Amino acid sequence: MLRIARLLSAALMLAVLPAAGAAQSSPPTAAPITAPQPVMERRPAPTPAPAPARVEPDPWLMSYAGLGNRTARANLSQIDRALVPYGSSYTRLPTEDRVRVRQAFEGLIPRQSFSRYEVSEPQARAIAYLALGPWERLGWNGDCDGPRRTTGRTGCGEALDSMSRDAAWIHSTILSMGRSARRRPRTEELNDLRAMTEHARRMVVQTSGCGCHAAREDAEALFAATRDAVDAYQRSSMPAWMSLGDARIERIARLSDSLERTYLRCSGS
């Protein structure tokens, strides 16, 4: 019996050993292959285009045109007269120069509103000086014997002759708009009034540059009178003789006639 038991035990051992060896020799199971995950690329957000610079409205021009303020209109007229030696006006100045003029007003007359405070002529000249410096830096000369910009006595003589002709034209043209004159289309009358204003503006500039000091006050008065005439005509729908009135027409005629004679004296004619 003992022998039979040993034989059975040996047989069982032989049956177990190949199974164990097969288990040991079998290759290990490979791990499942995982597909690569897509990588999300983070792109920078597009930079928005810069907004165009905002142009701030000119507060003086807004008070002049938008509100129709009389004080603002009078003050701008004073500033324009002060800018005549510079060969410019407030509306024709570059934006940065207009800013300097407004800053000069605030520095000279602090805590005052341009549309409420009445600027005097000396104050306007001081504002122009503080903002733009002395007008002499532009090369002007108050005497015909010296150069005025790029011209000398010959240039001044020609300017005086031209101004005398312009004054004569203004005199005859304004009289043609009187009560007894022939009626004309409004566009023609308005164009003539605007031409008068432009001629008068040039007279103020050239009078200061060519030393004809006797004409300076009348030239400035004529410039103011023609500008006032244009404003009065544009506010009305009537013909010139009704829109302007006899007083305006007579004042412009008197000033232009006086200037013609003064320019002729200055030129030696």
CA 180: distance to chain centroid?
43
Res 94: pLDDT: 86
Which tokens belong to 22? 């097969």
Taking residues 239-245, report their average pLDDT. 88
| CA separation for the pair 4, 2 (Å, rounded) | 5
Rounded-to-10 torsion of CA 47, 51, 53, 54? -150
Mean pLDDT of 224-239: 91
Q: Which CATH class is domain 153-267?
A: mainly alpha
Kindly report, residue by residue over 94-115, the tens digit of the pLDDT: 888 899 999 999 988 888 988 8
Q: How confident is the model at residue 158 (pLDDT cuts 50, 70, 90)?
A: confident
**CATH 1.20.120 placement within the chain:** 153-267
pTM for this model (two decimals): 0.46
Residues 183, 150: Cα–Cα separation, whole Å: 44
Distance CA(262)–CA(109), nearest Å, equals 37
